[in-house]
Structure 1
Amino acid sequence: GQAEAEGSPRRRLLVPANGADPIDTLRLFFDYFPEVVPFNSWNPFMRLMGLMDNDIHVARACAASPEDALYEMLVRWVSRMGREASVNTLLEALDRLGERHAKETIEDHLVGSGKFIYLEGGAGSAVS
């Protein structure tokens, strides 16, 4: 039940549905993050993700509008991290930042879209 999930320290990991590319699938949702993550949390959020202050400044400078800044930061984060970039890392960073509402809203949106599913019962079942 819900209470059980709340109390459990075990995180449920998201994986792309149908074995789709995790980075490409994640990119589809970069426009959604700025709608949910509070503006004042963008810089601390991306710092937690390992983006350098310089990258953050450049992303803000390159953004067509202030609303596009987080999108630009996420693009830079992916190009810096490569295959290490993961939706689960993003969600964990939001949680650590105290943005639990944003984390849960994004998680629900990703799963609701049908593009991401929960990894069931450990890594073994992911191999198909």
Structure 2
Amino acid sequence: EPAEAEASHTRRRLLVPANGADPTESLRLFFDYFATAVSPNSWDSLMRQLGLTRNEILLAREGVRVPRDALYEMLETWVSNKGREASVNTLLDALETLGERLAKETIRDHLLGSGKYVYEDGEAGSAVS
């Protein structure tokens, strides 16, 4: 736990929806983008990391006509299961855990660049002074 606390003080900056937008709806806006940023070979491991069962992953894959829609369906299942606990920060942390740092950074930069997400105010290391 001390290592976790140390990491949270150094580089852990949380993303939040801009202008107080609904976190779940803001997250959903980017489901299709996530499918382009995360390698299809990592989708199942990512969703297991986020708590989906093998059966939920298989059902999502079987329920789509186009393979790239599978991640969208898996993410929908994740949001349905977790509710407000499903956040972009949880997704980014899961990518980091899986060693998908490039995907994590690409997604983070895209979210910030879209204007739909900003860094949470009051965070240590925030750009606001």
Q: Same fold (TM over 0.5)?
A: yes
Q: Tell me which interval the TM-score lies in, with the shorter structure as reference length.
A: 0.7 to 0.9
Task: Write out aligned runs for 1:25-104 (5 A).
Answer: 25-104=26-105
Rounded to whole Å, the distance in 2 between the matches of 1:63 and 1:105 is: 26
Q: How many residues align?
A: 117
Partner of 2:11: 10
| TM superposition score normalised by structure 2 | 0.86
Equivalent pair of 2:17/2:116 in contact (CA under 8 Å): yes
- The CA distance in 1 between the partners of 2:27 and 2:74, in whole Å, is 14
Q: TM-score, normalised by structure 1?
A: 0.87
- Superimposed CA distance per residue, residues 40-95 of structure 1 (whole angstroms, 9 cap, x where no aligned partner): 10000000000111100000001121111101100000001011111100000001
Taking only aligned residues, the RMSD between alpha carbons, in angstroms, comes to: 1.6
2:52 is paired with a residue whose SS is coil
- The one-character-per-residue Cα deviations of 1:23-49 (angstroms, maximum 9, x if unpaired) are 000100000011010111000000000
Instruction: For residue 15 of structure 1, give the secondary structure of its aligned residue in structure 2.
Output: strand
Return the alpha-carbon distance in structure 2 between the equivalents of residues 63 and 33 of structure 1.
17
Q: Which runs of 5+ in 2 are unaligned?
A: 1-6, 125-129
